[in-house]
Structure 1
Amino acid sequence: MYIRGIGTAAPSTRYTKAECLRAFERSAWFARLDTRSHLIARTVLQRDNGIEARRLALDSLDEVFTIDPDTLDRRFLAHAPTLAADAGARALASSGVDVSQIDAIVVSTCTGYLCPGLSGYVIERLGLRPDVQAFDLVGQGCAAALPNLMLGRSLLGAGSAKHVLSVCVEVSSAAMYLDNDPGVLISACLFGDGAGAAVLSSAPPDAEAGRSGRPPRRIEWVDSTSLIEPAQRKALMFEQREGMLRNILTREVPALAAEYAQRVLRTVLGRAHVDSSEIAAWIMHAGGRDVLLALEKRFELDHDAFRYSAAMLREYGNLSSAFVYFVLDAALADRAPGGWWWLSSFGAGFSCHGALLRVDA
């Protein structure tokens, strides 16, 4: 499988963490929550938590504090199809693949539910063929990008498709929930809205110039694996409460992410007879600043190794499943050195996935 094109999309409204704190302090929710919660929010939003700004599908931050099922459902329906289609259109534009050539589409999300699923909305907006194979994946949280890409690879490998459009979209502002639980409050301070997409093909790109005016880089998916531990699902998950999604985020997540990410890495690199010192670019889901620090320590890498993940986290926050598309796009835009690249995501389950890519110079 080859990744022929990458596209990302985020709302135009950018909010800094200082703006988020001021909005929280003037909201009715501030009085409803206890003093400890005030301290947690101020600590997260005033210290260097690795995030400077987020994109949210809101005209005003005051809107985020209207928290009820109908409002959140409307927000997801209004923004998820648009973000997903925008990212898909950009991936197609960068790939050299015409929309009529897409044989299958795989769409992942965890921040809202539609029936018929999001895939139908993206098909409609992009003008995909009516006989396109459509798959909607839900419930995989931040880890969803890799299973999405793996399904695309299976479709290509089975010969049922030559070109697959992979899309992950999250409207985290449509999964807002507030109470005095520290994990709930911290997650409300971390997540942003956005979508990522990739065009996957059974053949490498042609040599014609890409969107940058340079020949497109050849990105080959070499091998991948997954690790899922249901016994740890309560460390990171959504639960339904009062008709809304409530995020459960525990202190164990950074250590779990680092441990499972290392196990996945060792499995794939061992099969490929590649040493971790040969990895030229790390395309990692960040989760948060503490997760990145745990990964650096576990992998015995310096801070610069995860610079693309750190940069995307600082500017966009945690975009859940869409995040690694942003990181991959940033590495490509920066002309990161060719060779072996490592792509990895982790999240609810507790699950972790990794893929070894071979990228030309």
Structure 2
Amino acid sequence: MAAEQALLSTEIVNRGVEASGPDAGSVTFSVRVRRRLPDFLQSVNLKYVKLGYHYFINHAIYLATVLVLVLAFGAEVQSVGGPTDLWSKMCDGESYDLLTVIALFGVLVFTVLIYFVSQPRPIYLIDFACYRPSDEFKVSKQDFIDLARKSGKFDEPSLEFQAKILQSSGIGDETYIPKAIMSPANCATMKEGRIEASTVIFGALDELFEKCRIQPKDIGILVVNCSLFNPTPSLSAMIVNHYKMRSNILSFNLGGMGCSAGIIALDLAKDMLEANPHSLAVVVSTEAITFTWYNGRNRSMLIPNCFFRMGGSAVLLSNRRRDFPRAKYQLEHIVRTHKGSDDRSFRCIHQKEDDQRLKGIAISRDLMEVGGHALKTNITTLGPLVLPVTEQLLFFAMLMWRTVFGGPDGSKPYIPSYKLAFEHFCVHAASKNVLDELQKNLGLSDRNMEASRMTLHRFGNTSSSSIWYEMAYLEGKERVHRGDRLWQLAFGSGFKCNSVVWRALRRVKRPTRNPWLNCLDQYPVRT
């Protein structure tokens, strides 16, 4: 175990030429790298810092222009002796002063008008719902292994491997799995996939419509993301059919985008809301694990079986100003990072068939390294948008000092504290090891990581919906107050790392419908 956790030197091994498939004729290789996140403190790529400031300056340029015009207007007024003398001269008919002041005032008003017109409509999060399956789907870690053994789909070494992974996974004994995956019959069928998807999606949407007191026909935009199960007709079409939504609804179905697809779906919904005023949008995030369950012996493909669990979320967004009084949050920033141009990043989470032609998801040993670099890029870009000015000035002062004068050997650059930017953190609950490394590298406290760890313990890795179970945990604990900023951070295949920042518009009291209500008093627990 100690050897597995140690840092490994990078080694490229040529494995020959691909014989068949889409990569036929290409040289194949494997890269063995360290299995921990890279130390974020060792290097900072300035081009991503510059990108973050580019986003910031696009909005700040208008405010800077207004400041200059205000100063010019004030100087002009003072040059004629102040407001009283200006008024007397205007009354005496001195047109030069009058025209100058009117021109400056007109330019100032025009600039302010352009600034407000150019700003996108605010996007409000009215409410959200997370599906909690019934207790008949609940399994403990031991039940999981016992059911897997009875299914006859796994040999004894595979069962022992999964049991070992589960013991150190951070997953508790009350997660949920569909019954079909542990039956002796083949569960990876379109029928079983549709059964699970419809159960989860309709359960979350029914709760959302009830909580928000809206009708399905009121929804103008629908975005659904499910990475691996993509039937025809699509899941978005299934929702439109089930709820008899209106014929001019703008519906989208995102597939194959991994655990970070929930934030990508939010970004798409945001763009559609900015282009369509006075609209409501629903974002549905889920994963149908029945359809993608792996029954083979490849250990890298058995790992997802141990972590992924049944779950899904539905989120209601609005750009209507009349929804402000009942909205919980306002969207502030979305920052997306895509590392797919790098081959190692592209292949670190890969759906494929094993030697027995059984389909599954292969997890590469490169995952921690690849994910760390994507995360570093994302938070470096996000920093200028959210960090206090004092932290940014200190960061740049230390960076310039090291650049000009150099630093002692082994010294580390100053990294701003993201705890000063956010009150709450919702980090994708991928696995215990990933959360441990993120906490260490970002310098977060146990309380900062509590929502993520408890979500992994109670619900497992529910893919793109996990960040909403974490937000539901914070609401259930009544920790969200007016003005608080919440950071949702997710990462997944591709390789992608995405962030979304919300600002609480009011103190959020414990909801009457919450997936944690029946067990909230038991948490936090020691994991």
Q: TM-score range by the shorter chain?
A: 0.7 to 0.9
Letter in 2 for 1:313: L
The correspondence for 2:351, drawn from 224, 231, 238, is 238
- Cα 1:243/1:170, change in 2 over 3 Å: farther
Report how many residues are paired: 346
Specify which structure has the bigger relative contact order, considering alpha-carbon pairs within 8 angstroms and separated by 6 or more residues: 1
Query: Which of the pair is proportionally richer in strand?
Result: 1
Superposed CA deviations along residues 40-67 of structure 1, whole A, max 9, x for unmatched, are: 222123x2421013212216x631x534
What secondary structure sits across from 1:302 in the alignment? coil
**2:299 corresponds to 1:155:** no
The correspondence for 1:252, drawn from 342, 366, 385, is 366
In the TM superposition, what is the alpha-carbon distance from 1:316 to its structure 2 partner?
Answer: 1.4
Correspondences of 1:22-101 after superposition (within 5 Å)? 22-31=146-155, 35=157, 37-45=158-166, 47-52=167-172, 53-58=174-179, 62-63=182-183, 65-67=184-186, 71-101=188-218
The correspondence for 2:429, drawn from 268, 272, 286, is 286
Following the alignment from structure 2 to structure 1, what is the Cα–Cα distance between the partners of residues 256 and 493? Answer: 8
- Cα 1:96/1:256, change in 2 over 3 Å: farther
In the TM superposition, what is the alpha-carbon distance from 1:130 to its structure 2 partner?
Answer: 2.5
Superposed CA deviations along residues 226-270 of structure 1, whole A, max 9, x for unmatched, are: 111112121113225688641011233234334423432232231
- Cα 1:336/1:135, change in 2 over 3 Å: same
In the TM superposition, what is the alpha-carbon distance from 1:204 to its structure 2 partner?
Answer: 6.0
In 2, are the aligned partners of 1:107 and 1:166 still within 8 Å (CA)?
A: yes
What secondary structure sits across from 1:303 in the alignment? coil
**2:366 corresponds to 1:224:** no
Letter in 1 for 2:368: P
In the TM superposition, what is the alpha-carbon distance from 1:101 to its structure 2 partner?
Answer: 1.8
In 1, are the aligned partners of 2:154 and 2:296 still within 8 Å (CA)?
A: no
Aligned to 2:68: none
Following the alignment from structure 2 to structure 1, what is the Cα–Cα distance between the partners of residues 478 and 322? Answer: 17
Following the alignment from structure 1 to structure 2, what is the Cα–Cα distance between the partners of residues 178 and 295? Answer: 31
Aligned to 2:418: 276
Following the alignment from structure 2 to structure 1, what is the Cα–Cα distance between the partners of residues 387 and 165? Answer: 42
Superposed CA deviations along residues 323-356 of structure 1, whole A, max 9, x for unmatched, are: 1221222222222233111011110101010011
Aligned to 1:321: 464
In the TM superposition, what is the alpha-carbon distance from 1:206 to its structure 2 partner?
Answer: 4.7
In the TM superposition, what is the alpha-carbon distance from 1:89 to its structure 2 partner?
Answer: 2.2
- Cα 1:295/1:207, change in 2 over 3 Å: same
The correspondence for 1:9, drawn from 122, 131, 141, is 131
TM, length-normalised to structure 1: 0.88
In 2, are the aligned partners of 1:175 and 1:244 still within 8 Å (CA)?
A: no
What secondary structure sits across from 2:419 in the alignment? helix
- Cα 1:116/1:266, change in 2 over 3 Å: same
Following the alignment from structure 1 to structure 2, what is the Cα–Cα distance between the partners of residues 72 and 343? Answer: 33
Aligned to 1:114: 231
What secondary structure sits across from 1:43 in the alignment? helix
In 2, are the aligned partners of 1:261 and 1:354 still within 8 Å (CA)?
A: no
Letter in 2 for 1:298: N
In the TM superposition, what is the alpha-carbon distance from 1:94 to its structure 2 partner?
Answer: 2.7
In the TM superposition, what is the alpha-carbon distance from 1:114 to its structure 2 partner?
Answer: 1.0
Letter in 1 for 2:150: R
TM, length-normalised to structure 2: 0.61
Letter in 2 for 1:311: M
RMSD of Structure 2 on Structure 1 (CA)? 2.3
**2:269 corresponds to 1:127:** no
- Structure 1 range deviating more: 194-203 or 322-331: 322-331
In 1, are the aligned partners of 2:222 and 2:249 still within 8 Å (CA)?
A: yes
What secondary structure sits across from 1:323 in the alignment? helix
In 1, are the aligned partners of 2:293 and 2:305 still within 8 Å (CA)?
A: yes
In 2, are the aligned partners of 1:40 and 1:182 still within 8 Å (CA)?
A: yes
What secondary structure sits across from 2:312 in the alignment? strand
Aligned to 2:524: none
In 1, are the aligned partners of 2:387 and 2:418 still within 8 Å (CA)?
A: no
- Specify the structure having the higher radius of gyration (Cα): 2
Aligned to 1:211: none
- Runs (5+) with no aligned partner, structure 2: 1-122, 389-416, 508-527
Letter in 2 for 1:8: C
Aligned to 1:346: 491
What secondary structure sits across from 1:301 in the alignment? coil
Aligned to 1:310: 453
Aligned to 1:212: none
Following the alignment from structure 1 to structure 2, what is the Cα–Cα distance between the partners of residues 146 and 221? Answer: 12
In the TM superposition, what is the alpha-carbon distance from 1:291 to its structure 2 partner?
Answer: 1.0
In 2, are the aligned partners of 1:255 and 1:294 still within 8 Å (CA)?
A: no
In the TM superposition, what is the alpha-carbon distance from 1:217 to its structure 2 partner?
Answer: 5.7
In 1, are the aligned partners of 2:126 and 2:323 still within 8 Å (CA)?
A: no
Letter in 2 for 1:253: L
- Runs (5+) with no aligned partner, structure 1: 209-215
In 2, are the aligned partners of 1:223 and 1:356 still within 8 Å (CA)?
A: yes
Aligned to 2:222: 105
In 2, are the aligned partners of 1:268 and 1:356 still within 8 Å (CA)?
A: no
Letter in 2 for 1:252: D
Superposed CA deviations along residues 289-312 of structure 1, whole A, max 9, x for unmatched, are: 111111101111122212111111
In the TM superposition, what is the alpha-carbon distance from 1:14 to its structure 2 partner?
Answer: 0.6
Following the alignment from structure 1 to structure 2, what is the Cα–Cα distance between the partners of residues 173 and 268? Answer: 36
In the TM superposition, what is the alpha-carbon distance from 1:30 to its structure 2 partner?
Answer: 3.2
In 2, are the aligned partners of 1:162 and 1:202 still within 8 Å (CA)?
A: yes
In 2, are the aligned partners of 1:142 and 1:347 still within 8 Å (CA)?
A: yes
